[in-house]
Amino acid sequence: MIASLLSPALLLAGLSATPSTPDPALPFTTWKLKNGLQVILHEDHRVPMVAVDVWVHVGSGDEVPGKSGFAHLFEHMMFQGSEHVKEDQHFAVLREVGASMINGTTNFDRTNYFEVVPANQLEAALWLESDRLGFLLSHVNQESLKNQRDVVRNERRQRVDNVPYGSSRMAQFAALYPEGHPFRYQVIGKHEDIEGAVLDDVKAFFRTWYAPANVTLALAGDVDEATARALVDKWFGALLSPPRPVKRPFPVVALQKNERLEIKDRFAKLARLQWTWHGAAQYSPDDPDLGVVGDALGADGWGRLYRRLVVDEQLAQAVYAGPSGMNATGQFSIAVTLKPGSDPARVEQIVRDEVVRLLAEGPSADEVRRSIVDTETNILFSLDDLLGRAERLQEMNHYTGDAGGLPAYLARVRACTPPSAQAAARRWLAKPRVLVVTVPESAPATAPTSAPKGGAQ
Amino acid sequence: MIAPVAAVLSLALQAHAGEVGAPTVRGPAVDRTRQPAAGPERDLALPPIRQFTVRGIKGYLVERPGLPIVQLELSWNLGGATDPAGKEGLASLCVDWLGEGTKRLDKTAFENKKADLGARIGIGAGAETTGLSLAVVTSRLEPALGLVAELLIEPGLRPADLERLRGQAKASVVQARGNADGAGARAWSAAFWGRAHPYGHVVEEKSLDAISAADCASVVKRLAPEGAELVVVGDVTVEQLTPLLEKSLASWKGKAPARAKVGPPRGLKGTVFFVDIPGAEQSKVIVGHGGPARAAPDYAATMVMSQVFGQGLSSRLVQNLRERNGYTYGANGGFAYRRSGSAFMVQSSIRTDATGKALAEIKHELTGMSTTPPTSDELRRERDGGLRALPARFATNAALARSVGELLSFGLPLDTWQRFPAELRAVDDKAAAAAVKAHLQPTQKVVVAGDRAKVLPELEALAKDGSFGREGLVLLDADGRAIK
């Protein structure tokens, strides 16, 4: 083990001068159209570009049993064309007007669609977005749906079935959420459910969830408010909307006892242990404290488990710890990827010891401060690009109900203390958890190794 | 207690479903049948690049006030390309070692200090360059620079850290061999560039074991200031930065390495190369051949035609493999530029049972580039769209750092981006067709990593029919060695 050359006292003395990070300015205005569509505008005139970011307040958590993966498959269909935008022309138009960052993503609780366009092409983007929001169903067709079912199943292969640890993650979710729970098959869903999706599903899902009243449009960049209001009115104002759909709350589930699963993996050659607890919802009061707990345990370089498992005992290749909120619920995970030949029982013991120690003593003041600095810094850098700002406003709006919630959130992060983090850890990590052990299906084909020739002593 | 899930889920999904045929619009209609016209186009405004020199480091700074953040990228002409035979992985391992701490601060103390400052300090070696990056909040730039300077001038280089990193690098090799993506990339290096070629090195456990601490000490010594290049972007001026650099780097001396000379590819003889990944549900497919240098005069035309072929959802390749045939989630094709030359590469993960069919379609689209060169619609989309999208390359700190770094890496003049719009605008159908003719070759190498039982018969047939070339099928292991 390496002795520290600096005494803790000296380190602390050096720290007291560390200036705090000022809150980033993220001014915005927000308004609603008559049909209920919410608009958020952030002006930044430094570069002639505008990020167009549409959030639909629906995700895979709103699926019903037998339709897993549908919210995401539907997201794919939104790119296939609409009444006035021909099949496969959405991307082509955006490409021709000079858009960058064109994509859409589906989460457990929301779906987003975005592009960053030259400011003088903003209207083309609003035309495209409003057409698929208002006129999708007159275009959707069987051929296109059949194709996207194939595409999404390929996506599942690429993210789950053909990669290391993909099957373990599926098993982890299945252990946490019982049959019938909308998180059970993750966002991507089961092959048979994806294959079973029909046009009527597309139509029903669209009519229920893709109501303008269930949509928030964020614009960030080089457009003034008067222009933004006029253009949004022009393209979205005439769309009719049923009332905003009522989201049913995600079922809250709990584990009765600890579970341990062993998953054989064809593609992983390094064993992995992953513990997962049910966790706090994103932006809920315990969320920042659980972030601190995750860093204290698993931060790259300085987390306790990183130091013990990667640096001191050299049992692990990599360590992760932290919460992942999913609106009304969440998870907290600790994952350790082992080096070849490491003893999983030894790793398990160390993780258990460190979690117990953290529950008993809480994190140190240094650890709490480092975690806060890390969060502040991450947020600042995430605002470098226009889309990052639009996404931050959307996230605050969706999860806290206030697009301007960033300062309050940062204040909450900065209010974390060793006792508050310890209390949150005790509320969540003393409960039963799932341990998924990924076992490489065959022994790694290591080349014959000798002692390092001329290696360091 | 598990909540009664079924009861909650029984809430009807279609609570607010509209009636079929119900109107979706009210009020005065806008004309949706036509794409709205664009507003007036603006000329590309490029922020000035300010040059400076500190201790022989050539500095390039772009001021970008707004957010109180700054990022620095220091780079040297040193990478895996110059690893000696038998010690593949040398530059990467040794540079990682440098990043582990200073004489004063061991690994743990150093990591704590970085975290205290919220300083993202990264150092790593690629094939041709070693880069040290710092990203930090402006108010902590000075102490963060001090920490970087301490790392460079008085590195810790503790033997225990080297052994730990060696173990991690070996574990990464083990992991990479086991899946189609990792094995496919390793096989491509060997098949296309050649394991003995500077760009084709394949790192193995024994090559990592052969690297000594003394080897690393000499690598680290070459990371010196005179001739190194530094790109800085963010909320800082040259006047603010240079005194900080002068002060923190005052005792740093020495000459940075010159650029390495690299020859043409020396890949394996063969047309189709196969690596077995038992049970793979998708085959990793790489198809390609050699390409021009980044500095070639027809770079813009080459870029446009390669985008028409294989970049983005509208490209011929993706429309075919994904949108028409559903063989894949994504695909791309284009030129991967190195400092010396490039590789034209088509890459995709293909559903196992469609591997042969997808390869035939890739061949079809490659041939189609000659028989049907980029059309006027395609040119408008990729050339005009590319022109309109240029501001995005200079719109963020990260993008600016990339765009300036690209010029330095390829030794291009600093006014390259000023001239680029005119070069791009000049790409007409003739120029695009000429680039196709000059840079897309009639034969290709094909690398596939997939499930042998299901894929190999198709590949044998493909090798026999000669559509990609007539040098036959070669079975490789996941280190890119031919299996006898």
- Mean pLDDT computed over A239-257: 91
By C-alpha distance, the chain A residue nearest B351 is A154
Number of Cβ within a 10 Å radius of residue A449: 12
C-alpha span between B141 and B128 (Å, rounded): 28
Is A247 within the bounds of a domain? no
In this complex, do B349 and A157 lie within 8 Å of one another by their Cβ atoms? Answer: yes
CB burial readout A16-29, b (16+ within 10 A) else e: eeeeebeebebebe
Q: Report the side by side order of strands in the sheet with A100-106.
A: A29-32, A38-43, A215-221, A49-56, A111-118, A100-106
Any idea what the Cα angle at residue A395 is, between residues A413 and A166, rounded to 5°?
95
Which of A178, A299, A310 is nearest residue B5 as measured by Cβ atoms? A178
Q: Of the candidates A95, A158, A80, which has an alpha carbon nearest to the alpha carbon of residue B323?
A: A80
- Per DSSP, A309 falls in state I
**How far is residue B429's CA from residue A346's CA, in Å, rounded to a whole number?**
65
The greatest distance separating any two alpha carbons of chain A, rounded to the nearest whole angstrom, comes to 75
Please report which confidence band the pLDDT of residue A327 belongs to, taking 50, 70 and 90 as the band edges: confident
Any domain includes A241? no
Please provide residue A94's backbone torsions phi and psi, each rounded to the nearest 5 degrees.
Answer: -60, -40
A119 lies in a domain? yes
B41 pLDDT tier (thresholds 50, 70, 90) = confident
Q: Which residue of A has its CA nearest to B34?
A: A84
Residues 348-407 of B with CB under 8 A from A: 349, 351, 380-382, 384-392, 394-399
What pLDDT is stored for residue A52 in this prediction? Answer: 98
Look up the CATH number of the domain holding residue A409.
3.30.830.10
Asked whether residue A400 falls in the same domain as residue A294, the answer is: yes
Nearest to A270 by CA among A324, A331, A351, A347: A347
Q: A49 and chain B: CB distance < 8 Å anywhere?
A: yes
B332: chain A residues, CB-CB within 8 Å: none
Token duo for residue A16: 């007291």
Tell me the count of A-B CB pairs closer than 8 A: 361
Q: What is the mean pLDDT of residues A208-221?
A: 97
User: Nearest residue on chain B to A457, judged by CA atoms?
Assistant: B159
According to the model, what pLDDT value does residue B25 have? 63
Could you tell me if A10 lies within 8 Å of chain B, comparing CB atoms?
A: no
Mean pLDDT of the residues in chain B: 93
* CA distance to partner chain B, nearest, from residue A407 (Å): 15
Task: Assess whether pLDDT exceeds 90 at residue B24.
Answer: no
At A150, the amino acid letter reads: D
On the question of pLDDT at A10 being above 50, the answer is no
Flag whether residue B412 sits within 8 Å of chain A, measured between CB atoms: no
Q: How far apart are CA B286 and CA B272, in angstroms?
A: 10
User: Residue A311: which of B3, B108, B330 has the nearest Cβ?
Assistant: B108
Radius of gyration of chain B (CA): 26
Lowest-pLDDT range, A20-29, A83-92, A154-163, A329-338?
A: A20-29
CA B482 to each of CA B195, B273, B356: distance values in angstroms, whole numbers, following the listed order: 11, 9, 22
Sheet with A329-338: list strands edge to edge.
A259-265, A434-440, A272-279, A329-338, A316-326
Q: Does A285 contact B at CB distance below 8 Å?
A: no
Contact with chain A for residue B177, Cβ under 8 A: yes
Q: What is the DSSP track for B92-106?
A: HHHHHHHTT-BSSS-
Give bridge partners of residue A320 from the DSSP assignment.
A335
Shared domain check, A383 and A269: yes
pLDDT for A249 equals 87
Residues A112 and A190 in one domain: yes
pLDDT in the model for residue B20: 35
- Among B32, B111, B398, the residue with its CB nearest the CB of A384 is B398
pLDDT in tens, B287-325: 999 999 999 999 999 999 999 999 999 999 999 999 999
ipTM: 0.93
At A5 the pLDDT is: 31
Element (H, E) at A63: none
Judge whether A125 lies within some domain. Answer: yes
What span, in angstroms and rounded, lies between the C-alpha atoms of A128 and A235?
9
Which tens digit of pLDDT belongs to each residue from B360-384?
999 999 999 999 999 999 999 999 9
Q: Does B68 touch chain A (CB under 8 A)?
A: yes
Residues in Cβ contact with B369 at an 8 Å cutoff, skipping those fewer than 6 apart: B305, B308, B309, B316, B436, B440
Distance (Å) from the alpha carbon of A387 to chain B's nearest alpha carbon:
11
Of A93, A134, A455, Cβ closest to residue B209? A455
Residue A156 inside a domain? The answer is: yes
In total, chain A counts a number of residues equal to 457
Give yes or no for A104 touching B (CB within 8 A). no
Selected residue with higher pLDDT from A307 and A4: A307
Question: CB–CB of A384 and B117 under 8 A?
Answer: no
Gap between the Cα atoms of A260 and A274, Å rounded: 10
**Alpha carbon distance A256, A343 (integer Å):** 28
Number of alpha carbons in the 13 Å side-chain half-sphere of residue B6: 1
Is pLDDT at A2 greater than 70 in this prediction?
no
Please, what is the end-to-end C-alpha distance for chain A in angstroms?
A: 14
List the 191-250 stretch of A: residues with Cβ below 8 A of B: 203-205, 207-208, 211, 234-235, 237-240, 242-243, 245-246, 248-249
User: What letter would DSSP give residue B255?
Assistant: B
The predicted structure's pLDDT at residue A328: 73
Contact yes or no for A125/B39 (Cβ under 8 A):
no
Q: Which is higher by pLDDT, B47 or B28?
A: B47
**One domain, residues A210 and A355:** no
Q: Would strands B445-450 and A29-32 be described as parallel, antiparallel, or unpaired?
A: unpaired
B213 with A456: Cβ contact below 8 A: yes
Burial degree of A411 (CB within 10 A; 0-12, 13-18, 19+): exposed
CATH of region B272-476: 3.30.830.10
Same domain, A301 and A225: no
Domain locations along chain B = 50-248, 272-476
Mean per-residue pLDDT, A115-136: 98
In angstroms, rounded to a whole number, what is the distance separating the alpha carbons of residues B405 and B411? 10
Tracing tokens 């009527």 back to the chain, one arrives at A200
Q: What is the pLDDT of residue B254?
A: 97
Q: Which H or E element spans position A226?
A: helix A225-236
Q: How confident is the model at residue A20 (pLDDT cuts 50, 70, 90)?
A: low
pLDDT-based confidence at A103, cuts 50/70/90? Answer: very high
How many other CB atoms are found less than 10 A from the CB of residue B222?
A: 17
Looking at the structure, do residues A41 and A154 belong to the same domain, yes or no? yes
Burial B6-18 (b: 16+ CB within 10 A, else e): eebbeeebeebbb
For B23, the closest of A65, A240, A384 (CB atoms) is A240
- Alpha helix (H) residue ranges in B315-380: 316-318, 355-371, 376-379
Q: Is residue A429 part of a domain?
A: yes
Nearest chain B alpha carbon to A371: B115
What is the span of the domain harbouring residue A111? 29-236
Place of tokens 């919210």: A71
Q: Are residues A125 and A216 in the same domain?
A: yes
Average pLDDT (B173-194) is 98
Distance from CA of B480 to the nearest CA of A (A): 14
Which residue stretches of B154-267 are H helix? Answer: 159-177, 180-188, 205-209, 213-221, 238-248
Confidence of residue A53 (pLDDT cuts 50, 70, 90): very high
Intrachain domains B50-248 and B272-476 with the same fold: yes
- Determine the average pLDDT of the residues in A167-194: 97
Q: How much is the average pLDDT of B432-448?
A: 98
Contact list, A118 vs chain B (CB under 8 Å): 38, 41, 388-389, 391
Nearest CB to B391 within list A48, A62, A252:
A48
> Using the beta-carbon criterion (under 8 Å), do B112 and A150 form an inter-chain contact?
no
Q: What is the largest CA-CA distance in chain B?
A: 78
Strands B473-476 vs B272-276: parallel, antiparallel or unpaired: parallel
The reply to whether residue A118 touches residue B206, judged by beta carbons under 8 angstroms, is no
List of chain A residues whose C-beta atoms are within 8 Å of the C-beta of residue B328:
151, 154
Q: Measured at the alpha carbon of residue B335, what is the angle toward residues B329 and B339, in degrees to the nearest 5?
A: 135
Does A166 lie at the interface with B, CB-CB under 8 angstroms?
no
Backbone angles phi, psi at A179, to 5 degrees: -55, 135
Lowest model confidence (mean pLDDT) among B2-6, B125-129, B214-218, B347-351: B2-6
Q: Which among A44, A48, A204 has the least Cβ separation from residue B17? A: A204
DSSP bridge partners of B51:
B60
- Confirm or reject contact between A142 and chain B (CB < 8 A): no
Q: Which amino acid is at B104?
A: R
- Which chain B residues contact residue A161 at CB under 8 A? 281-282
Is the CB of B158 inside 8 Å of chain A's CB atoms?
Answer: yes
The CA distance from A267 to the nearest CA of chain B, in Å, is 5
Q: Which token pair is A346?
A: 């030894």
pLDDT tens column, B247-264: 999 999 999 999 999 999
Which pLDDT score is estimated for B27? 57
Residue A345 makes CB contacts below 8 A (sequence gap 6+) with none
What DSSP line would sit under A40-59, residue for residue?
EEEE--SSSEEEEEEEES--
Give the phi and the psi of residue A256 in degrees, each rounded to 5: -80, -35
Contact B147, B121 (CB under 8 A): yes
E-only strand ranges, A222-379: 259-265, 272-279, 316-326, 329-338
What is d(CA A150, CA B306) in angstroms, rounded to the nearest whole number? 26
On chain B, the residues whose CB falls within 8 A of the CB of A246 are 15
Mean pLDDT of A348-361: 98
> Does A378 lie in the same domain as A325?
yes
- Among B105, B116, B135, whose Cβ lies nearest the Cβ of A5? B105
Task: Identify all chain B residues contacting A150, using CB atoms and an 8 Å cutoff.
Answer: 326-327
What is the average pLDDT score of chain A?
92
What's the whole-number mean pLDDT along residues B408-419? 96
CB contact, 8 Å: B14 with chain A? Answer: yes
CB proximity B483 to A under 8 Å? no
**Residue B5 in this model has a pLDDT that exceeds 90:** no
Task: Compare all CA atoms of chain A with the CA of B41 and give the residue at the minimum distance.
Answer: A120
Residue A177 in domain? yes
CB distance B60 to B232 below 8 Å:
yes
What chain A residue is nearest to B86 in terms of C-alpha separation? A453
Domain B50-248 belongs to what topology? Cytochrome Bc1 Complex; Chain A, domain 1 (3.30.830)
For residue A4, the chain B residues in CB contact (below 8 A) are 106, 108-109
Number of domains in chain A: 2
Please write the tens of the pLDDT for every residue from A261-318.
999 999 999 999 999 999 999 999 999 999 999 999 999 999 999 999 999 999 999 9
* Contact residues on chain B for A18, CB-CB shorter than 8 A: 116-117, 140, 143
Cβ-based contacts of A455 with chain B (< 8 Å): 162-163, 166, 209, 211-213
Question: Of the candidates B42, B178, B324, which has its C-beta nearest A268's C-beta?
Answer: B178
Residue A14 in any domain: the answer is no
Judged by CB atoms closer than 8 Å, whether chains meet at A455 and B163 is answered as yes
Do residues A171 and A309 both lie within one domain? no
Q: Which of B46, B72, B93, B116 to mutate to test the interface with A (most CBs of A within 10 A)?
A: B116
Distance, CA of A392 to CA of A379 (rounded, Å)? 9
